Structure 1
Amino acid sequence: MTSPAPKPQPALLRVQGLGFAYPQHTVFQNFDAHIGAGVTLVLGGDGAGKTTLLRLVAGDLALQAGSLQSGGLTSHAQPQAWRQTVFWIDPATSAFDALTPRQFFDQQRQRYAAFVPPDVPTWVALLAGLSLTEYLDKPLYMLSTGSKRKVWLAAAFAAGATVTLLDDPFAALDKPSIRFVLQQLALASRWTSRACVLAHYEAPEGVALAQVIDLDA
């Protein structure tokens, strides 16, 4: 007797018939993806569309065709609720430069209901693991590129969003911080009701992946 096939994992994010083109070239045409819990890797080289896909899912770019669904939400019909379901910060943004990290985190707590409170060990460990504690009250414009990226990463891992989007999370990080981020991704790989979508050119070491979406294939 053979064992029954495992039940397919329910999708936390459904990408259906996605279409998007820049004036110079088409990036996605009738693109589908069903993303479940854990860590999904969006794999591809430069120009493959990794960042574009994340920005489309986040609502930073408008869909030209297709739909995005998470639970009972669709991105185009409920944009405000969608932005509270999907965590995304453009790593290169300067939109928060006037804030301190502490103010930025407080702002994100207002947006994401499940964001880790500031007085619990998990939050203290996140700040320590990314060497952010001493920078909490410095304006973001005074921080290095690497330190600003650590602020975005701390928020991403603390947000508790249904879908968390990470674009090249190791860029500009020191080696201890890279190791810490890998540890956090390993924890995310065991999420059962949340999805982490990671865009990178290679698989992260030591992280069990739920799925790989290869844009170069």
Structure 2
Amino acid sequence: MSSSPTPSAPFLLQTHALSGGPADHAVIQRLSFTWSAGLHWVCGDEGCGKTSLLRLLSGDLQALGGSVHMPPGGVFWADLKGPEHDQTTVQACWEQWRTRYPQWNSALLQELAEALDMERHRHKPLYTLSTGSRRKVMLIAGLASGATVTLLDQPFVSLDQHSVKTIKAFLREAAEVADRAWIVADYEAPDDLPLTSVLNLSAPT
């Protein structure tokens, strides 16, 4: 794993000797890393621990060792892939998240819902949506949450090219915000976004 970068903006989130992952396969081993404000990428091969790391950072997955120092202002993480969410409507999902994040931006949510062609799906249950539309529900919520740290897992999978361009345009602007961090996990780091740091979980230690 690569080493921690020197923070270029106020400290937001940090791990110290973090270990964790699925109970039968701890894929993260003693990771120490610091994320400051900006746009960050976590990349690596299949099974290297990208999603597990995001879950550890959010508190959705319990660490086996080490610690995660959370920032004030909240960490956004969402996973709607499970069947337990199938009957929930898009609007209900957004309403649930709105109550959790004090800096929630309803105007931005509306703008994104229109830009990503999700306005017409607001009152549909998730099981009626395509894989791409279901992913958009999470993406729109994350971008509108106002959380200090927003965690996005493979945000471009199953999206049409217009939607990918829309999300990337948002991330380019978000990268310039001085008091928020965006941590994105995907197989490879893009060369068309202004990245503050890249953490390659498949890199040799």
TM-score, structure 1 normalization: 0.84
Query: RMSD in angstroms over aligned alpha carbons?
Result: 1.9
Consecutive aligned runs of 4 or more in structure 1 exceeding 6 Å deviation: none
Task: Identify the range of structure 1 (142-151 vs 182-191) with the bigger mean alpha-carbon deviation.
Answer: 182-191
Secondary structure in 2 matching 1:183: helix
Distance 1:114 1:85 in 2: 10
Partner of 1:34: 34
In the superposition, relative to structure 1, how do residues 21 and 123 fare at CA in structure 2: closer, same or farther (>3 Å)? closer
Distance 2:7 2:22 in 1: 38
Q: Out of 150, 175, 199, which is 2:185 matched to?
A: 199
Q: Out of 113, 116, 123, which is 1:127 matched to?
A: 113
Offset of residue 195 of structure 1: 0.7
In the superposition, relative to structure 1, how do residues 7 and 128 fare at CA in structure 2: closer, same or farther (>3 Å)? closer
- Is 1:71 the counterpart of 2:71 in the alignment? yes
Partner of 1:99: 88
Amino acid in the other structure paired with 1:208 = P
Task: Identify the range of structure 1 (203-212 vs 55-64) with the bigger mean alpha-carbon deviation.
Answer: 203-212
Checking the alignment, whether the CA contact within 8 Å between 2:10 and 2:179 is kept in structure 1 is no
Partner of 1:78: none
Offset of residue 15 of structure 1: 0.6
Distance 1:133 1:91 in 2: 18
Q: Out of 182, 185, 191, which is 2:168 matched to?
A: 182
State the identity %.
39
Offset of residue 28 of structure 1: 2.0
Amino acid in the other structure paired with 2:83 = S
Amino acid in the other structure paired with 1:56 = L
Q: Out of 94, 109, 122, which is 2:98 matched to?
A: 109
Checking the alignment, whether the CA contact within 8 Å between 1:16 and 1:32 is kept in structure 2 is yes
Where does structure 2 lack aligned partners over 5 or more consecutive residues? 1-5
Checking the alignment, whether the CA contact within 8 Å between 1:43 and 1:199 is kept in structure 2 is yes
Distance 1:142 1:58 in 2: 28
In the superposition, relative to structure 1, how do residues 176 and 203 fare at CA in structure 2: closer, same or farther (>3 Å)? same
Secondary structure in 2 matching 1:111: coil
Partner of 2:135: 149
Checking the alignment, whether the CA contact within 8 Å between 1:91 and 1:167 is kept in structure 2 is no
Distance 1:177 1:16 in 2: 36
Checking the alignment, whether the CA contact within 8 Å between 1:18 and 1:30 is kept in structure 2 is yes
Q: Out of 184, 199, 202, which is 1:213 matched to?
A: 199
TM-score, structure 2 normalization: 0.89
Checking the alignment, whether the CA contact within 8 Å between 2:21 and 2:53 is kept in structure 1 is no
Partner of 1:88: 77
Distance 1:65 1:168 in 2: 26
Distance 2:129 2:159 in 1: 13
In the superposition, relative to structure 1, how do residues 44 and 113 fare at CA in structure 2: closer, same or farther (>3 Å)? same
- Equivalent pairs, count: 198
Checking the alignment, whether the CA contact within 8 Å between 2:7 and 2:35 is kept in structure 1 is no
**Larger Cα Rg: Structure 1 or Structure 2?**
1
